[in-house]
C-alpha cells in the first residue's frame, strides 16, 4: 500500500516559525535596550556641554574684569602723563626765564671782565712806564719771561684764604708763561718751603711736577704772616749764586709790619746790578686787591718799588 506525500505547507514548519519569532523578539529587545540607554548618553553630553559653557562664561567674566582693570590703569597713566606734560611745560617756561636772566647776567659779566681787563692793562702799562731802561726780552702779560728758574713767594695769611683757588690759577698761568724751566721752588711769606727737605734746592720741571706743586699748594695748611719780606730774602739768599737767571714772583695782598726802607736796602745789597745793567734775579709782584687801608697800600707801594728796582713788574689782580 503506497504512502501519501505531505502537502506544500510543510515548508513553513513550526521550527521556521520559531526562528522567525525569536529573531523578531531579539530585534524588539535590542530596540528596547537602545531606547532605554539613549537618554542617558544625551544627558551626559548635555551635562558636559553645560559645564564647558559655564567655564567659557567664567573665562569671559575674568577677561571682562581684566579689561576693566586695564582700562582703569590706562586712565590713571593718562592722567599722570597729562600731569607730567604740564610739569614739563612749567619747567620749560622756567628754563626760558632763567636762560634769559643768565644771558643778561652773562652780558654784564662780560662787560665787567672787559672793564677789569682794561684796568689790568692800564696798571701794567703804568708799572712798565715807571721801570728803568733795560734790555728788551720776551714779555708775557707785561712780565719778562726770560728766566730759567722761578721761585714763588706766596702769602698764606688769613686774608688770602678765600682766594686760594684764584692764587692756584694765577700760579698755573705764570708757569704756563715759562714752558721750559730748569728749576722751580715755592715758599710762603715767612720763607717756609712748600716741600720740606728741599730747602736751597730746585724742584725739577715737568708736567707731573707742576701738577704736584699745584695739588700740594691747595692742600697746604701753613699760615704765614702778612709780610712778604722774610720769604723774598730767603729766596734771594738761598739761590743767588751768581750763575742762574732767576725770577721771584711774590703773591700777596698786604704788608702789616717791617721797615720798607731797610728791607729795600737789604734786597739791593743781595741782588746788585750786573755789568749789563740787568739784575740776575728779577722780582715781580702779583697783588690781590682784597685788603683796603694802610696794609694793602703798603704792599702795593712796596712791590711797585721793588719791581722797578729789580727789573720786574707789578700786576694788580682785580678778580674775585
pLDDT tens column, 277-318: 778 899 999 988 755 678 888 888 889 999 999 989 888 887
Length of the chain: 320
Q: What whole-number distance in Å separates Cα of residue 105 and Cα of residue 78?
A: 40
Evaluate if residue 137 carries a pLDDT over 60.
no
User: In the block, which residue shows the cell 611745560?
Assistant: 89
Phi, psi of 134 (to 5 degrees): -150, 165
Per-residue model confidence (pLDDT) at position 162: 83
**pTM listed for this prediction:** 0.56
5 vs 8, 13, 128, 166, 188, CA distance in Å?
A: 9, 16, 174, 155, 165
Evaluate if residue 87 carries a pLDDT over 50.
yes
Q: What whole-number distance in Å separates Cα of residue 139 and Cα of residue 135?
A: 11
Q: What whole-number distance in Å separates Cα of residue 279 and Cα of residue 246?
A: 9
Between 48 and 119, residue with greater pLDDT: 48
Per-residue model confidence (pLDDT) at position 117: 65
Amino acid at each position: 500500500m503506497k504512502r501519501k506525500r505531505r502537502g506544500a505547507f510543510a515548508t513553513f514548519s513550526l521550527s521556521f516559525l520559531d526562528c522567525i519569532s525569536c529573531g523578531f523578539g531579539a530585534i524588539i529587545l535590542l530596540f528596547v535596550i537602545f531606547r532605554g540607554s539613549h537618554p542617558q548618553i544625551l544627558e551626559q553630553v548635555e551635562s558636559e556641554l553645560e559645564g564647558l559653557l559655564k567655564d567659557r562664561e567664567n573665562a569671559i567674566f575674568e577677561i571682562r574684569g581684566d579689561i576693566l582693570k586695564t582700562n582703569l590703569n590706562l586712565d590713571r597713566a593718562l592722567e599722570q602723563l597729562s600731569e607730567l606734560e604740564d610739569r614739563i611745560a612749567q619747567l620749560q617756561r622756567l628754563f626760558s626765564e632763567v636762560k634769559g636772566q643768565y644771558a643778561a647776567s652773562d652780558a654784564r659779566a662780560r662787560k665787567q671782565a672787559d672793564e677789569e681787563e682794561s684796568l689790568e692793562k692800564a696798571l701794567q702799562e703804568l708799572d712798565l712806564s715807571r721801570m728803568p731802561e733795560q734790555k728788551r726780552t720776551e714779555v708775557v702779560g707785561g712780565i719778562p719771561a726770560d728766566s730759567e728758574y722761578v721761585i714763588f713767594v706766596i702769602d698764606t695769611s688769613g686774608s688770602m684764604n678765600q682766594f686760594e683757588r684764584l692764587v692756584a690759577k694765577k700760579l698755573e698761568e705764570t708757569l704756563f708763561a715759562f714752558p721750559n724751566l730748569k728749576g722751580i721752588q715755592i715758599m710762603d711769606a715767612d720763607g717756609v718751603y712748600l716741600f720740606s727737605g728741599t730747602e736751597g734746592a730746585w724742584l725739577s720741571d715737568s708736567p707731573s711736577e707742576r701738577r704736584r706743586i699745584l695739588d700740594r699748594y691747595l692742600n697746604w695748611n701753613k699760615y704765614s704772616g702778612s709780610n712778604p719780606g722774610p720769604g723774598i730774602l730767603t729766596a734771594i739768599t738761598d739761590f743767588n749764586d751768581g750763575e742762574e737767571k732767576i725770577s721771584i714772583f711774590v703773591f700777596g695782598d698786604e704788608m702789616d709790619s717791617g721797615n720798607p726802607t731797610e728791607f729795600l736796602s737789604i734786597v739791593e745789597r743781595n741782588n746788585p746790578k750786573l755789568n749789563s745793567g740787568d739784575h740776575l734775579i728779577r722780582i715781580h709782584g702779583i697783588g690781590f686787591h682784597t685788603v683796603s687801608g694802610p696794609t694793602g697800600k703798603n704792599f702795593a707801594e712796596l712791590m711797585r718799588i721793588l719791581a722797578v728796582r729789580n727789573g720786574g713788574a707789578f700786576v694788580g689782580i682785580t678778580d674775585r
